[in-house]
Amino acid sequence: MPSDTSGFFISDGKCKRCGKPFYEVSVATAIAALMIGYLMITFFFNLLYISEEPWVKDIFGDYIPLGLEYIALSVILLIVMAPVMGAGIIPALKKRHSSAYGYACAECQKVLAQEAQDAAIKQKQSEEANAYAYMSRVEGLENGDPWLGKLIRSWKQDNPNKLPEESMINDLVMAKNMEKAGNFEKAAVIMEKYRFWEEAGRMRRLDDQKVIKHITVDMNELIDQVGTKGLAIPYKCSSCGASITIDKDSKKEGLKFCSYCGTAYNIDDMTKMIQSALE
Ligand SMILES: [Zn+2]
Ligand SMILES: [Zn+2]
């Protein structure tokens, strides 16, 4: 395993593709490790030596220099060598193998470059295919859906030679679905976002109609429920103070305007009042 010989100094002392170690980086790292190891041993046993351990000279006298000055010397060399090797020489050797694709041997750099080129071509082809598919989708909507077609054509008139963004097309399809679902307000907001003012207005009018219809239906149901429960609910005109009674005989038409002063009743309030009486 190359990483065993390179030690903690380098994690990228080998080719990222084939895993082959960079020879001179491994050698430099091994030399650095040996030298630093040797200096540390020199330092350590000299400490023992000056604290008068007699066996040190017997065992290590032939291998390391002994004497007070070697303590200082080994420390100085360590301080100088560690950065020179660790931050200078070894990184410089590694750098010769660095490429746009990471640390790799010369052969693998060629392969990686080719792979990157192929990927770029593939990417471009798929982008072109996507763009074409998108263009077809827009065309399909433009020709296949009268409402969307009208909006897209009017947008194209304001933005000649351009294609609407995909987010806009998605929004328009959403607006169409919201209209179908009766959520006219949401559809109107989308129409405003793309400055289709008239369509926004049409959606809002649909929304108003929906509210009126909604309340009318509710009021009939509420009168039915009032009748079923046998309730008689007093309601006071907020304008003139005249009272009417809402019971099984009430007609929804009669609950729209005060018959004394002609003011339109607040249907919302009236609905809420009846609902709370029914609870
Ligand atoms: Zn390689
Ligand atoms: Zn009144």
ipTM: 0.50
C-alpha of residue 111 to centroid of ligand 1, in Å: 9
Ion ligand 1 nearby residues (CB, 5 A):
15, 17-18, 105, 108
C-alpha of residue 122 to centroid of ligand 1, in Å: 24
The string of pLDDT tens digits covering residues 76-134 is 999 998 888 888 988 899 888 888 888 899 899 999 999 999 999 999 999 999 999 99
Ion ligand 2 nearby residues (CB, 5 A):
237, 239-240, 242, 258, 260-261
Task: Flag residues of the chain having pLDDT under 50.
Answer: 1-10
Model pLDDT, residue 214 = 62
Model pLDDT, residue 211 = 66
Model pLDDT, residue 46 = 92
The two three-digit tokens of residue 16, written as one number: 């990222």
C-alpha of residue 222 to centroid of ligand 2, in Å: 22
C-alpha of residue 17 to centroid of ligand 1, in Å: 5
Model pLDDT, residue 155 = 95
